[in-house]
Amino acid sequence: KNQVEQSPQSLIILEGKNCTLQCNYTVSPFSNLRWYKQDTGRGPVSLTIMTFSENTKSNGRYTATLDADTKQSSLHITASQLSDSASYICVVRLNNAGNMLTFGGGTRLMVKP
């Protein structure tokens, strides 16, 4: 069964610190991997999207990495801010299913002052 597993489930860090969120997937055939940010009470918003051939992609203080061989991705947040408090969702798209996506359960990040 196609699955996307994220760790940790939740994380608390101090403002200004860095953190790394993990995503492992068993989705096959793989097309691309996306990271979404979901603020409390809001819908998910796309942060990055990476295809099979891309190892890393940045969006401001967010840097996503992808190892398609080990089927692992990470999202690194640099110099965290209070506004980074949110859930971060890893999403994988199958290569043969239009825009059908498999969602991870998310990592809930809390940044404290």
Closest to other proteins by CB, 80 vs 89, is: 89
Distance CA 27, CA 79 (A): 31
Stretch that binds other proteins, among 16-24, 56-64, 72-80, 98-106 (CB under 8 A): 98-106
Retrieve residue 2's tokens: 């196609």
What is the distance of C-alpha 41 from the center of its chain? 19
We find the least distance from the C-beta atom of residue 36 to other proteins, in angstroms, to be 8
Distance CA 33, CA 49 (A): 6
Residue window 1-40: x/- pattern of binding to other proteins, with contact defined by CB under 8 A = ---x----x---------------------x--x------
Residue 89 makes CB contacts below 8 A (sequence gap 6+) with 6, 35, 36, 37, 38, 44, 103, 104, 105, 106
Per-residue DSSP letter, 107: E
Closest to other proteins by CB, 6 vs 80, is: 6
Stretch that binds other proteins, among 13-21, 54-62, 65-73, 95-103 (CB under 8 A): 95-103
**Residues within the interface to other proteins (CB under 8 A):** 4, 9, 31, 34, 41-46, 49, 89, 93, 98-106
